[in-house]
Chain A
């Protein structure tokens, strides 16, 4: 209906007490787009994400989803508006079975201020939710196999799938993944990346990858922003950034061929 981008961030400032973690960041993301946010450890990537997702109230600036101003709203409202964060370290509910983890994604979406009406709304939409669960299982058959197992007793890659599945159960249109590759084996990261590409292309779910692993992020996304010390220092199409001298030396290990440069741990920037 409107030409407004799916996500638009304008002049966002996130502070922890006197410390400024994010200092006036502006970025935007269209429907179905894949965008990366790269930068070194401590650049403020996670703070930016938390400011957008409602975990931290931004000091100033605006966050718009579909042109609707949702700055500083509760996390639940952001989820209902279509943006779900897959947090760093995955953060599944370890003692609950995989299936309960997934269903809680749908439940959280119904949650407004208190539990009783949330539960009633959830029960009211029960059939719709089980259809959605079947859909998620068909996209990720592995989760169907593991549905009875406590999520804490699955592998790191499987937990990442659970966290993504949980977001899909919340009918997310924009999946913001914080450090997809952290602590996972390269092969597992490969599988996850392929899955995310399919999810994006077949289901139209937009992706915002927040990554230290610039190689992975640039490979997977069409556009990227570079964040340093709370400020955007670069932005552009991935293939241009891959050729950019600063990016190469700081994030891509200075190698000649990006595809072969894949470092296990991202190199620290000299700043």
Chain B
């Protein structure tokens, strides 16, 4: 039981970071119809910038700057992906984001090298809660993620700019007719999503180092989290992220104990978790139909 809880704690934390990536994907998909595969790159950039910045300034400020810079990069990516021409199809945009993801990974390789990057956590020891060791960093990731998801939801519901985003998601045509520039809103959606993804890895990097090519793993996990809610619901994407994170940790943790598999288990982490996700998505879809 203690080991199970231990794994769940870690799972909730990594899952939270996946959830942020997934929420970003939902936001972009709903407002633009684009599945953004550069979403993992934003997370990696967040982590890498944080590692660079944290030596020079206070951690909080470093995180803030990293999120802002990646948010800005996100708006540029959005600007390119949505297209200078009036009608770039969502499929063309998807391929553009894929290309941008490859470009960012290559640039990261050139700039940061191919070793994993991390920075030391500011907390000097773990908390012992009933025998379960809880790293404060894990709690930080989970807490900030939940706060960010709540703030985003509130912002979309209560502020006029947020409602403009929802309006584009509801009916792009009607949004255009009331005078909202749908492409400008798409750029904002990209910026916010990029900032959210970056935030996840700004916080997670001390316990989960990033590589220049971590973006593929992160994008796939984020997409799986988003797919849990059919790329339509922020709440379900959040839940999907948590489920995915926990499932992965359980697979790794318990596969370790199977004789003969041992250290190889880690390789199957992603595959196993995705299978679990697929089953859950299938179950949810079926459930919905029967309702």
Question: Using an 8 Å CB-CB cutoff, how does the interface string of A24-55 with B read, 1 for contact, 0 for none?
Answer: 00000000000000000000000000000101
Closest to B184 in A: A114
User: Is A100 located at the chain interface by the 8 A CB criterion?
Assistant: yes
Closest to B171 in A: A91
User: Is A93 located at the chain interface by the 8 A CB criterion?
Assistant: yes
User: Is A234 located at the chain interface by the 8 A CB criterion?
Assistant: no
User: Is B161 located at the chain interface by the 8 A CB criterion?
Assistant: yes
A-B contact pairs, 21 of them (CB 8 A): A55-B177, A75-B179, A76-B179, A76-B180, A85-B177, A92-B171, A92-B174, A93-B163, A93-B170, A93-B171, A93-B175, A95-B166, A96-B163, A96-B166, A96-B170, A104-B163, A104-B175, A107-B178, A115-B185, A119-B160, A119-B161
A108 and B178 form a contact (CB under 8 A): yes
A202 vs B179: C-alpha distance in the bound complex, in angstroms?
26
CB contacts (< 8 Å) of B174 on chain A: these are: 87, 91-93
Contact residue among A77, A119, A122, A170 (Cβ-Cβ distance under 8 Å from B178): A170
A119 vs B163: C-alpha distance in the bound complex, in angstroms?
11
Q: Across the A-B interface, how many residue pairs have beta carbons closer than 8 Å?
A: 95
User: Is A80 located at the chain interface by the 8 A CB criterion?
Assistant: yes
A84 vs B176: C-alpha distance in the bound complex, in angstroms?
11
| Nearest chain B CB to A136 CB, angstrom units | 14
CB contacts (< 8 Å) of A166 on chain B: these are: 178
Interface size grouping (class) on chain B: 20 to 34
A104 and B177 form a contact (CB under 8 A): no
Q: Add 18 more A-B contacts to A84-B177, A95-B170, A114-B181 (CB < 8 A).
A: A55-B176, A76-B179, A76-B180, A79-B177, A79-B178, A80-B179, A91-B171, A92-B174, A93-B171, A95-B169, A103-B160, A104-B164, A104-B167, A104-B180, A107-B163, A107-B164, A115-B164, A115-B185
B176 and A75 form a contact (CB under 8 A): yes
Question: Using an 8 Å CB-CB cutoff, how does the interface string of A99-113 with B read, 1 for contact, 0 for none?
Answer: 010011101111111
| Nearest chain B CB to A132 CB, angstrom units | 14
Question: Using an 8 Å CB-CB cutoff, how does the interface string of B193-229 with A read, 1 for contact, 0 for none?
Answer: 0000000000000000000000000000000000000
| Nearest chain A CB to B152 CB, angstrom units | 15
A141 vs B177: C-alpha distance in the bound complex, in angstroms?
24
User: Is A5 located at the chain interface by the 8 A CB criterion?
Assistant: no
A158-178 contacts to B (CB < 8 Å): 166, 170
A115 vs B166: C-alpha distance in the bound complex, in angstroms?
13
| Nearest chain A CB to B253 CB, angstrom units | 40
CB contacts (< 8 Å) of B188 on chain A: these are: 115
Closest to B189 in A: A115
A105 vs B167: C-alpha distance in the bound complex, in angstroms?
11
Question: Using an 8 Å CB-CB cutoff, how does the interface string of B114-126 with A read, 1 for contact, 0 for none?
Answer: 0000000000000
Contact residue among A92, A100, A111 (Cβ-Cβ distance under 8 Å from B179): A111
A93 vs B156: C-alpha distance in the bound complex, in angstroms?
13
A115 vs B181: C-alpha distance in the bound complex, in angstroms?
8
User: Is A94 located at the chain interface by the 8 A CB criterion?
Assistant: yes
Query: Which 10 pairs of residues, A with B, have the shortest CB-CB distance?
Result: A108-B178, A108-B179, A76-B179, A91-B174, A93-B170, A79-B179, A114-B184, A119-B161, A93-B167, A100-B163
Taking beta carbons and an 8 Å cutoff, which residues of A are in contact with B? 53, 55, 74-77, 79-80, 84-85, 87, 91-96, 100, 103-105, 107-115, 118-119, 122-123, 166, 170
B161 and A104 form a contact (CB under 8 A): no
B177 and A75 form a contact (CB under 8 A): yes
User: Is B173 located at the chain interface by the 8 A CB criterion?
Assistant: yes
CB contacts (< 8 Å) of B184 on chain A: these are: 111, 113-115
| Nearest chain A CB to B125 CB, angstrom units | 43
CB contacts (< 8 Å) of A96 on chain B: these are: 163, 166-167, 170
B166 and A93 form a contact (CB under 8 A): yes
A87 and B173 form a contact (CB under 8 A): yes
Known contacts A91-B171, A93-B166; A115 and B179 CB within 8 A of each other: no
A263 vs B3: C-alpha distance in the bound complex, in angstroms?
73
A113 vs B175: C-alpha distance in the bound complex, in angstroms?
13
A77 vs B180: C-alpha distance in the bound complex, in angstroms?
10
CB contacts (< 8 Å) of A170 on chain B: these are: 178-179
A103 and B163 form a contact (CB under 8 A): yes
CB contacts (< 8 Å) of B173 on chain A: these are: 55, 87, 91
B134-180 contacts to A (CB < 8 Å): 160-161, 163-164, 166-167, 169-171, 173-180
Known contacts A103-B163, A104-B160, A119-B160; A74 and B170 CB within 8 A of each other: no
CB contacts (< 8 Å) of A112 on chain B: these are: 181
A85 vs B176: C-alpha distance in the bound complex, in angstroms?
11
